[in-house]
Amino acid sequence: MPRNYVRKSEKQLDRSNLEAAFKHRVQTNCSLKEAAVKFDVKKTTLVDAFNRSKKFSDGLTYVPVPGHTNRVFTPKQETHIVDYTIHAAKMFYGLPMNEVRRMVYLYARACNSQTIPEAWEKDKMATRDWYYAFMNRHPNLVLKAPEGMSIARIVAFNKVNVETFFKAFTLALNKYEFTPDRIYNLDESSLSTVMKPCKVVCVRGKPVATQVTRERGDSMTFVGIINAVGQSIPPVFIIPRSRWNPSFMRNTIFGSKGILHPSGWMNGDCFVQTLQHLHEKSGSSVENKILLIMDNAECHMNFHVVEFAIKHGIVIVTLPPHTTDKLQPLDVSVFGPFKTFLRSQLNNFALMHPSEHITVHQLPEFASEAWTKASTPSNILNGFRATGIWPLNELIFPEEAFVGAQVTERPAPPEEFVVEVTRTPSDGSTSDGEEQTTISHGSQVVDLPEDDPDDPTPGPSTTMAPTPGPSTTVAPTPGPSTTVAPTPGPSTTVAPTPGPSTTVAPTPGPSTTVAPTPGPSTTVAPTPGPSTTVAPTPGPSPSKFICPTQPSLPAPITTMLATPSPSRPTSESSPITPESIRPFPKAAPRLYGKGRKRVRACILTENEEAISDLRVKAEKKQKLEAKKKAAEAKKKVPRKKALPTPQDDSSDEDIRVVLDDSSEYSDDEEELTESSYPFVDKAPEVEDFVLVQLPLEEGRGVGTLVCYVAQVLSMKEGGRLNLSFLRMKSAVTRDTFTFPNVEDEAEVDPGQCLGVLKVAKGITKRQADLVKVFPPLLPFNMYI
């Protein structure tokens, strides 16, 4: 049946009066038509009711219409499917339509549904008809195109990282008693002269495009600074230029700062200047500190940054890596409207000034106007409130906010139970006293007294031996489910092996005594006793036996020490769910390499380990820069080079020679002039390389004499030379030339030829088209 089937005849859906019409006819024996008219029921519907009664009953008892008999799932099972899909989407691993159909088919097979259609078995998935009907039955589900989310952000935003940040923030807040006007947040954002266009009104059904000033614009860095009372500090711009121009800060917010950097990106030196701008505007000092919340980007984690902050009273608290979209007020509520207003500003400029480019000189002006509209007190206060920074709310994020991190979560390492059996004198002396058992779990310690050795042993499989003296301790006799490890000396360690056959059941009471109970498998049940104390037992050093337990054991010692093996789930106690058929994704343990060591959330200006690491990093960087400078200086010193010899008239073969510092050109290379340049003393011949001087015929400097390197192709009448001109590879060295892809030939007079050059051709295949001239043609005005 098609999904959009429309019934051709009307169907009466209201059956509330059907039973009344049925009973009225049975009681009065009237006609079907009379009963149908009286109770406003269709006659055919009433006829169907009597036929159904005759088929399933005695014909006089009303039988309601049976429900759907071809349903694949029950309503409860469909609820499990809905919950599974919603939870998978919250984990950032939502299922596409076809994956939902495959999962539903597998779930139907697992539930042993007797009404699985044949079409499902054929394609091994649910049909589209069922899928769309399922979506209609559950309007809270919808098929959406998801936004991309970085795996690093999903993994990093977990409960541990959030608690670590709030712990550091609360510590700094209580230590220095910061008021909200002294709590600042700083972050960078990239600006471009070409941004995503705004939406436009157009005809439906056809694509539309809008003009942009360039395909790729120039970028600069914008630094926004806000505080927890809704105020903002004039921004900072990192401008991609090397020379300052007053037009950069034209019509910007008063007090804004411009910093020049060739790339336009933030680095350590630029961030120190940014902190200096913050220090000047906030009036921070060692006596009047401020709290700065920022991320741990590479440009922020600089030793000079921390040094400047400590000297000027800036307490820095870093955010956990990859959590700024949830914990940074600027990212939460300010930068979004800022980019929207900026995009609108650039779009309006493009409409008012068609075919005009937006430059970096204009971008700070547009950004300042957009920042004024976006950095309102309401936006800023909402950002601090939504992150839980101010007012302080460490529980601002619900449990479902950390669902995405469940994919990479690992269980905590297993805790250990330490069981100590010591001989403790009752009166504090060295005489024999009461033997006590100390069992510790984590940081909690409970002392349990031993049983009275005169008590009878109640179990057939475990017996208790009497205590003969101070050097022998009570030890249960080995049975099928108890392990006894006796140790000679004044103390003995008894450790039952946890397993499916050992059960430990606590009994509430003010004190407990360990006593075995009867049964084929030993059950240890603490019972009330008068001598239990919650304190370490004084006396001689005890012996210990460490029992590793499950990682999920609770802390109190009154809980079970050995977890019994869970029974196999049954359909009654644990119904089948889609998660049992298709478990939620779980990442394998990560192999940590030698990547950059990130500083986690902490008070950076007081973390000695982090400061030490930054100091070592700065020293390494300084040594590396010094090494690079030495290498560059070494490159400028003339060194021996292996080059081919110039062509000689007597031989056409390329011969490699070594030119060292004693070469006739090595010392006088910089002193050469046009008149002293050593040309080959001969007339130009075919295949010789010559230097010719010709006037420019077009462009700037028309008529200026410039020099070209060319090869003689042939000799014409009147002594004219037919030349093939070469192109210069480097305008700095002026010693390497190559033939162009398109031959450039011309005839010149012999008087325009300055002389024959000494050249060497490349030997390798890669250098076959290169021609090296020496000495270089530095004295001449070459055509570039």
Angle ∠(235,238,241) on CA atoms, nearest 5: 140
- The first and second tokens of residue 199, run together, are 């939406």
Among 769, 759, 760, 744, CA closest to 694: 744
Residue 486, SS3?
coil
Q: Tell me the C-alpha distance between 602 and 168, whole Å.
A: 5
Measured from the Cβ of residue 229, the count of other Cβ atoms closer than 10 Å reads: 15
Instruction: Identify the pLDDT of residue 66.
Output: 73
> Where exactly are the structural domains of the chain?
18-56, 75-137, 153-199+216-399, 419-453+481-573, 608-633, 641-773
pLDDT digits (tens, 9 = 90+) for 692-719: 998 887 766 777 888 999 999 998 888 8
Determine the pLDDT at residue 393: 95
SS3 552: coil
Q: Does the pLDDT at position 159 exceed 90? A: yes
Asked whether residue 22 carries a pLDDT value surpassing 50, the answer given is: yes
Is-contact 371 231, C-beta < 8 A? Answer: no
Residue in this structure with the two tokens 């960087």, named with its chain if needed: 621
Q: Is the dihedral of CA 394, 396, 400, 405 positive or negative?
A: negative
Phi, psi (rounded to 5 degrees) for 718: 80, 10
Residue partners of 541: CB distance under 8 A and separation at least 6: none
Averaged over 608-629, what is the pLDDT? 90
Instruction: State pLDDT tens for residues 206-239.
Output: 888 877 767 778 899 999 999 999 999 999 999 9
What is the mean predicted confidence (pLDDT) over 305-334? 95
CATH code for the structural domain at 153-199+216-399: 3.30.420.10
* DSSP assignment letter at 313: T
Assess contact for 455 and 529: CB atoms under 8 A: no
Distance between CA atoms of 661 and 16, rounded to whole angstroms? 113
Task: Please give the pLDDT value at position 537.
Answer: 40
Number of helices (H) and strands (E) in the chain: give both, helices first.
18, 24
Looking at the predicted structure, is the pLDDT value of residue 459 above 70? Answer: no
Percent of the chain, pLDDT > 70? Answer: 71
- Angle CA 206–212–216, to nearest 5: 120
Helical axes 75-90 vs 97-110, angle rounded to 10°: 140
- Which has the minimum average pLDDT: 87-101, 283-297, 352-366, 754-768? 754-768
Task: Look at residue 503 and tell me whether its pLDDT is greater than 90.
Answer: no
How sure is the predictor about 472, in pLDDT bands with cuts at 50, 70 and 90?
very low
- The rounded percent of the chain whose pLDDT value lies above 90 is 43
Average pLDDT over residues 75-102: 94
Angle made by CA atoms 760, 761, 763, in degrees to the nearest 5 = 120
pTM of this structure:
0.59
For the record, the structure tokens of 241 come out as 């230029």
CB 397 within 8 A of CB 404: no
Residue 562 pLDDT > 60 = no
Cis peptide, bond prior to residue 391, ω within 30 of zero: yes
Check if the beta carbon of residue 532 is closer than 8 Å to that of residue 510. yes
Contact 224, 230 (CB under 8 A): no
pLDDT in tens, 257-307: 999 999 999 999 999 999 999 999 999 999 999 999 999 999 999 999 999
Collapsing DSSP to helix, strand or coil, 772 comes out as strand
Is the peptide bond prior to 556 cis by the omega test (within 30 degrees of 0)?
Answer: no
Separation between Cα atoms, residue 28 and residue 113, nearest integer Å: 45
Q: What is the pLDDT of residue 11?
A: 58
pLDDT tens for residues 23-70?
A: 999 999 999 999 999 998 888 888 999 998 998 888 889 888 876 668
Choice between 472 and 134, residue whose per-residue pLDDT is larger: 134
| C-alpha–C-alpha distance, residues 346 and 369, integer Å | 11
Judged by average pLDDT, the poorest of 12-16, 78-82, 507-511 is 507-511
- State the pLDDT at residue 216: 77
Confidence of residue 674 (pLDDT cuts 50, 70, 90): confident
Question: Which residue is it, tokens 């060497």?
Answer: 760
